[in-house]
Amino acid sequence: MKSFLRMSLILCGASLLPLSQAYASSPPVVVAESARTVAGGRSVEVTVGQAELKSNINNVTAVVPAAGGLLGALIVAGVAAKIEADRAKKAEIAITPLRDALSDFDADGLALSTTKGALDQVDWLKTDNVQFSKDSTPLGKSNFLDSGDAAQAAFFDYTYDLAPDFSSIRVNVSLEFANKASVGSKPEARLNYNKLAYTQSITTVVPLPNMGTDINANAQAWTADHGRLARLALTTAFADIEKLIPRTLALTDADVKAMNGKDKTKQTLNGYFGRTQESDGSHTLLWGGGFIDVEALPPEAPRSVDVVESTPTAPEAQAPADAPAAPAADTPAPAASDAPAPATPDAQPETQAPADPAAQPQASADTAAPPPATPQAQ
């Protein structure tokens, strides 16, 4: 009981921290013209701190009722923590088959190629020396800062996960510029939010076509056929981000002001809130402090069979022990034309009908992708 109350107190206290303390000062969200070139140079590192697709359970302790005093808040926080733990357990069970289906999907390589492709379009950040790391912690990034001679490092930190109800797959990249110069007693303090030279975020959300409300049914749809839809969603999301990174790095203060204009309609889409910047049959681009792109899956290509097995050959018949002797050696063999033709496999690759265009609109190749904003609690 004591441990339960202690944990509830911690959760409650964390939820009541003033936002002004968490965000005492904010780093720039645009790269000013004067800051694009850094004396001493800028190194680049891509980080992916996960080894598999994550499930994401919204924090149900985020809103704690004020009524009931501290005891009431503790009880609510404790109950919410129990609910959250149960939901997380169910999500882990549901996501396991999908993780197995994606075990050979190279998200790390895709994150690296996405970043390289994007930076090739940014003259002031173009480089042939993009490093990769699985350590996305502040300490790991701090070590990268100290490993070279550059005065600043640009970090592209990727995460990819499923929505809490498995209705969509999301890919996010956080962009951070950190200076090598020390800012405190701990080297990793250079990666503190308020010490960064620049920060931005991009999120692409790819909804499951014809998604339902049942987490297990949605998980099965993503998992079917060796995770075919999940692979397509991840590939689509990373391709979108490759288009949005150059657009994000090119933003100016005037661009941000315009995107926050009252003429831009506010909406919540797939758990993300922002002002609508673009919308057509294939995607909707929101601005919520960063780009958020809700991108429909492209029409599926007909499924092909990777391996077509030939018709198995029947085992060679063995003559019984008392069978008549074989014909004499000088008996003429049947003419080739009389010989039976070899069997040929008649299995044809299975073809799947293309998806309903209404459910899966064609993605536009030149449409910009969207960024990341904090999803609303569900």
Segment of 81-90, 224-233, 305-314, 353-362 carrying the highest mean pLDDT: 224-233
What is the tens place of the pLDDT at every residue in 187-198?
999 999 999 999
CB 284 within 8 A of CB 296: no
Averaged pLDDT for residues 259-271: 96
Residue 11 exposed, middle or buried by CB count within 10 Å (0-12, 13-18, 19+): buried
In 3D space, the residue among 321, 326, 374, 340 whose CA is nearest the CA of residue 203 turns out to be: 374
What is the tens place of the pLDDT at every residue in 168-185?
999 999 999 999 998 878
Cα(81)–Cα(60) distance, integer angstroms: 8
Cα(236)–Cα(54) distance, integer angstroms: 18
Given pLDDT bands bounded at 50, 70 and 90, which one contains residue 124? very high
Enumerate residues 6+ apart whose C-beta is below 8 A from 179: 151, 152, 190, 195, 197
> Can you give the pLDDT at residue 80?
58
Angle between helices 2-15 and 69-101 (to 10 degrees): 90
In DSSP terms, which residues pair with 207 in a beta bridge?
168
Map out the domains of the chain as residue ranges.
26-57+69-295
Per the model's pLDDT, the better-predicted residue between 334 and 224 turns out to be: 224
Given pLDDT bands bounded at 50, 70 and 90, which one contains residue 374? very low
Give 295-352 as a DSSP string. EPPPPPPPP--S--PPPPPPPPPPPPTTPPPPPPTTSPPPPGGGSPPPP--------P
> Can you give the pLDDT at residue 375?
53
Pairing label, strands 266-269, 198-207: unpaired
Averaged pLDDT for residues 249-260: 98
Pairing label, strands 168-179, 42-48: unpaired
Averaged pLDDT for residues 224-249: 97
Which of 43-47, 99-103, 251-255, 296-300 shows the lowest mean pLDDT across its residues?
A: 296-300
Hey, what's the torsion of the CAs at 90, 92, 95, 99, to 10 degrees?
Answer: -170
What is the tens place of the pLDDT at every residue in 317-342?
444 444 444 444 444 444 444 444 44
Residue entry with tokens 């909707």: 284
CB 47 within 8 A of CB 145: no
Strand boundaries in the chain, DSSP class E: 42-48, 54-55, 130-133, 152-162, 168-179, 198-207, 266-269, 272-279, 283-287, 291-295
Q: What is the pTM of this model?
A: 0.70
Cα(54)–Cα(163) distance, integer angstroms: 9
Q: Is 344 left (phi over 0), alpha (psi -120 to 50) or beta?
A: beta
Which of 29-43, 225-239, 274-288, 329-343 shows the lowest mean pLDDT across its residues?
A: 329-343
Give 256-279 as a DSSP string. HHHHTSTTSPEEEETTEEEEEEEE
Which of 227-236, 259-268, 269-278, 358-367 shows the lowest mean pLDDT across its residues?
A: 358-367
Cα(180)–Cα(154) distance, integer angstroms: 11
In 3D space, the residue among 170, 145, 142, 146 whose CA is nearest the CA of residue 158 turns out to be: 170
Residue entry with tokens 């029947």: 314
